[in-house]
Amino acid sequence: MAKVALLYFASLREATGCEREEVETGAADLAGLYAEAASRHGLQWPRERLRVAMDGAFAAWSEPPREGSEVAFIPPVSGG
Amino acid sequence: MAKVALLYFASLREATGCEREEVETGAADLAGLYAEAASRHGLQWPRERLRVAMDGAFAAWSEPPREGSEVAFIPPVSGG
Amino acid sequence: MGPTRSCTARFELATSDIDIGPLREGLLRDEAGAYASFEGWIRNHNDGRPVSGLRYEAYASLAVAEGQRIVEEAAGRFPVSGVHCVHRVGELPVGGLAVWVGASAAHRDAAFDACRYVIDQVKLRVPIWKHESYTDGPAQWLHPDEPGSPPRPA
Amino acid sequence: MGPTRSCTARFELATSDIDIGPLREGLLRDEAGAYASFEGWIRNHNDGRPVSGLRYEAYASLAVAEGQRIVEEAAGRFPVSGVHCVHRVGELPVGGLAVWVGASAAHRDAAFDACRYVIDQVKLRVPIWKHESYTDGPAQWLHPDEPGSPPRPA
């Protein structure tokens, strides 16, 4: 089990109702971590439309969650 | 014969030593008018490298000089 | 990959109005003959709907890191003297300045190319989101579809 | 050919310093989400030679007519809200602003394209000449070769 903080932005924050939550996870990778969060909050975004970042850098979905890390699921961006 | 004013700019003005001269010409077209000016002032520019304007608008070398008009021989430009 | 010449490459987020005068002056160089800039302003319409204003939210630490990567990529790809981008976060009215990009270079090709590269990549990659308000209905978050992507969830 | 939409298209010669603040503001439009600008600055070197300053001379009436034609072509080709160009004549020091182009549009493609079109065409077509001074020899008029053109006379 790893303890991680999850960050939510924009419509993902609206859907979860929170901008940050601490969770204990047994997920083997970040894809599994997203599946848990999507199930817990009823998130409709397919993982293919999102990117994931760990500790302030983009990461691969296949990476395992690091103990104590901060993980963000990034919906399509609309800056500029 | 037509009476026209010739305008010289940049290195053409340096070569002729004047920015404007009034001439009487029997030239059939602006190409002939340039040939006369080139011969009179020893201008080295081949006509192919120049453009010509009459009364403030670009013109074709084949146009006849208009009585009372202002004709400019335009060396390659270097603005911007 | 980074710039091999000495060259300013900088990305910032701004929480208050962007003052472009000093930003532009920061790119002046005696060897630079060309300067190109881009500004993104808040339009009064989007996708046919009347916009009353908007708010930008960023994942700040990642946005700054990714934005900095983009300006350094531009400095490595194009022979520029300097390239700088500032993106606004927070509330903005119609007509407000959302993003500014400036690039100086010896010649104009590099200045235009760097400026264009930065704004295109910022829009694609930097984690900033637009929350748009309308005069004809409720506000919403914008999450553009990528080409060929599945439809956005309701 | 001219613009079919209502759109500012303006070209001017300036005999004193170009003040870009009000020029930029003149292109702000509530429907415009994008603004691109270009500035040409006097470089401290050209063709490997150290430049100390220069003077621009124009055939003013034809330069204004041809410049106006160019900005109207840009307004006709690209969906812009406004396009404006000001070219300096007279003496300029190194670092001085020689030419400014600004274009506003709903979207950035048109703003960039119009800006680029105007500066490219101005350099090709507008009767303005550069008299360049050097720290290492006598000043000269610049008359760039066109591709494939015969050599410049001595």
Q: How far is D134 from chain C (nearest CA, A)?
A: 14
pLDDT band at C77 (very low <50, low <70, confident <90, very high): very high
Name the residue of chain C whose CA is nearest to D19's CA: C21
Q: How confident is the model at residue C109 (pLDDT cuts 50, 70, 90)?
A: very high
What kind and span of H or E run contains D109? helix D108-125
- C79 burial level (CB within 10 Å; 0-12, 13-18, 19+): middle
Domains in chain A, number: 1
Section C128-142 average pLDDT:
94
Per-residue pLDDT at C1: 43
pLDDT of residue C148: 52
Q: Choose from B7, B49, B58, B78 for mutation: most chain D CBs within 10 A.
A: B78
Residue C152: what pLDDT?
A: 53
Q: Is D30 on the interface with C (CB under 8 A)?
A: yes
pLDDT at D154: 47
User: Which residues of chain B fall short of a pLDDT of 50?
Assistant: none
**Chain C neighbours, 3+ Cβ pairs < 8 A:** A, D
pLDDT at D152: 53
Please check whether residue A80 lies inside any domain of the structure: no
| Mean pLDDT across chain B | 97
Task: With residue D111 as reference, give the H or E element that holds it.
Answer: helix D108-125
Of C30, C41, C45, the CB nearest to D35: C41
pLDDT (average), residues A23-51? 97
**C108 touching chain D per CB within 8 A:** yes
Q: What percent of chain A has pLDDT over 70?
A: 100
| C6 has pLDDT over 90 | no
Taking residues A35-45, what's their average pLDDT?
96
Mean confidence (pLDDT) of chain C = 91
C26 in contact with D, Cβ within 8 Å: no
**H or E element that contains C8:** strand C8-14
> Does residue B18 belong to any structural domain of this protein?
yes
pLDDT grade for C125, boundaries at 50, 70 and 90: very high
Query: CB contacts < 8 Å between C and D, how many?
Result: 76
φ, ψ of residue C56 in degrees (nearest 5): -105, 135
B62: in domain: yes
Give chain A positions within 8 Å (CB) of C130.
78-79
Q: What is the dihedral of CA D87, D89, D91, D96, to 10 degrees?
A: 0
Are residues A49 and C59, on separate chains, in Cβ contact within 8 Å? Answer: no
Mean pLDDT of chain A: 97
- C contacts of D30 (beta carbons < 8 Å): 43-44, 94-95
Comparing CA positions, the residue from D45, D51, D61, D60 lying closest to residue D90 is D60
User: How confident is the model at residue D145, as a pLDDT?
Assistant: 82
- pLDDT of the residue at C2: 43
The answer as to whether A17 is a domain residue is yes
**Does residue C21 sit at the D interface (CB-CB below 8 Å)?**
yes
Nearest CB among B43, B44, B79 relative to D130 is that of B79
The residue of chain B nearest to residue D128, with distances taken between CA atoms, is B79
Q: What is the pLDDT of residue C62?
A: 97
CATH code of the domain covering residue B44: 3.10.20.30
pTM here is 0.92
Task: Output the pLDDT for position D147.
Answer: 54
User: Is residue A14 included in any domain, yes or no?
Assistant: yes
Residue B79 lies in a domain: no
How many Å separate Cα A66 from the centre of its chain? 13
- Inform me whether the C-beta atom of residue C35 falls under 8 Å from chain D C-beta atoms: yes
CA distance D111 to C98: 16
- Please report where in the chains the tokens 């990549």 appear, as a residue: C121
Alpha-carbon gap, residue C50 to C43, rounded angstroms: 9
Question: DSSP assignment of B25-37, as one string?
Answer: E--SSHHHHHHHH
Average the pLDDT over C70-84 and give the result: 98
User: Given CB atoms, is D127 within the 8 Å cutoff of chain C?
Assistant: no
Yes or no, beta carbons of A10 and C154 under 8 Å apart? no
Give a yes or no: residue B80 inside a domain. Answer: no
What is the mean pLDDT for each group of 10 consecutive residues in chain D (154 residues)?
A: 66 97 95 96 91 95 97 98 98 96 97 98 97 93 73 51
Whether the per-residue pLDDT at A68 is higher than 70: the answer is yes
State the residue range of the domain holding B15: 2-74
pLDDT band for C7, please (50, 70, 90 cuts): confident
Residues of B in contact with D119 (CB under 8 A): 80
C153 has pLDDT over 70: no
